[in-house]
Chains A and B, each alone.
Chain A
Amino acid sequence: MTDLITTPNIIDADDFYADLLALHDGQSKERSDAINARLILLLANHIGDREVLAQAMRDAAKP
Chain B
Amino acid sequence: MKKIFEVPMYAYEKSPDQDASTPVRHPVVVIGAGPIGLGIAIDLAQHDVPVVILDDNDKVSFGSRAICFAKRPLEILDRLGCGEPMVEKGVLWNVGKVFFDEDETYKFNLLDEDGHKNPAFINLQQYYFEQYMVDRVRALQAEGKPIQLRGKNKVEAVGQHDDHVTLEISTEDGPYILEADWLIACDGANSPTRRMLGLDFEGRVFEDNFLIADVVMEADFPTERWFWFDPPFNRGQSALLHKQPDNVWRIDLQLGWDIDREHEMKHENIIPRLHAMLGEDAKFELEWVSIYTFQCRRMEAFRKGRTLFAGDAAHQVSPFGARGANSGLQDTDNLAWKLKLVMDGKAPDALLDTYSDERVYGADENIMNSTRSTDFITPKSDISRIFRNAVLDLAGQYEFARPLVNSGRLSVPCTYDGSVLNGPDAEGLPDALRPGATALDAPTKDGWLLDRLGDKFQLLAIGIEAEDELNTCGIDIETIRLAADESPELANRYLGDAKGAIYLMRPDQHVAARWIRFDKNAILDAVKTATAQGGK
Contact = CB atoms under 8 A, between A and B. Distances in A.
A34 B386 contact: yes
A18 B442 CA distance: 59
A41 interface: yes
Contact of B389 (A34, A40, A42): A34
A37 B382 CA distance: 12
Contacts of B6: none
A42 B391 CA distance: 10
B393 A38 contact: yes
Contact of A34 (B393, B400, B401, B404): B393
B390 A38 contact: yes
Contacts of A42: 394, 398
Contacts of A40: 387, 390
Nearest to B390: A37
A42 B206 CA distance: 30
A45 interface: yes
A51 interface: no
A38 B397 CA distance: 12
A61 to B, nearest CB: 13
Nearest to A33: B386
A37 B387 CA distance: 6
Contacts of B400: 45
A47 B536 CA distance: 44
A41 B391 contact: yes
Contacts of A37: 386-387, 389-390
Task: Please report whether the interface of chain A is mostly helix, strand, loop or mixed according to DSSP.
Answer: helix
Contacts of A41: 387, 390-391, 394, 401, 404
A41 B393 CA distance: 11
Interface size class of A (residues with CB under 8 A): under 10
Contacts of A34: 386, 389-390, 393
A40 B401 CA distance: 12
Interface in B372-410: 386-387, 389-391, 393-394, 398, 400-401, 404
Interface size class of B (residues with CB under 8 A): 10 to 19
B402 to A, nearest CB: 11
A13 B471 CA distance: 73
Task: Give the one of A36, A40, A41, A42 with max B CB within 10 A.
Answer: A41
A5 B394 CA distance: 26
Contacts of A38: 390, 393-394
Task: Give the one of B386, B390, B393, B404 with max A CB within 10 A.
Answer: B390
A3 to B, nearest CB: 23
B382 to A, nearest CB: 8
Contacts of B398: 42
B389 to A, nearest CB: 7
Interface in A30-63: 33-34, 36-38, 40-42, 45
A34 B386 CA distance: 6
Contacts of B390: 34, 37-38, 40-41
Contacts of B387: 37, 40-41
A40 B390 CA distance: 9
A36 B400 CA distance: 17
Contacts of B404: 41
A45 B29 CA distance: 53
Nearest to B399: A45
A37 B394 CA distance: 10
A30 B393 CA distance: 14
A26 B398 CA distance: 26
A40 B400 CA distance: 13
Interface of A: 33-34, 36-38, 40-42, 45
Given A36-B386, A37-B390, 5 more contacts: A34-B386, A38-B390, A38-B394, A41-B390, A41-B404
- Which 10 pairs from chain A and chain B are nearest by CB? A37-B390, A45-B400, A38-B390, A37-B386, A33-B386, A37-B387, A41-B390, A38-B394, A34-B390, A41-B394
9 contacts: A33-B386, A34-B386, A34-B393, A37-B387, A40-B387, A41-B387, A41-B391, A41-B401, A42-B394
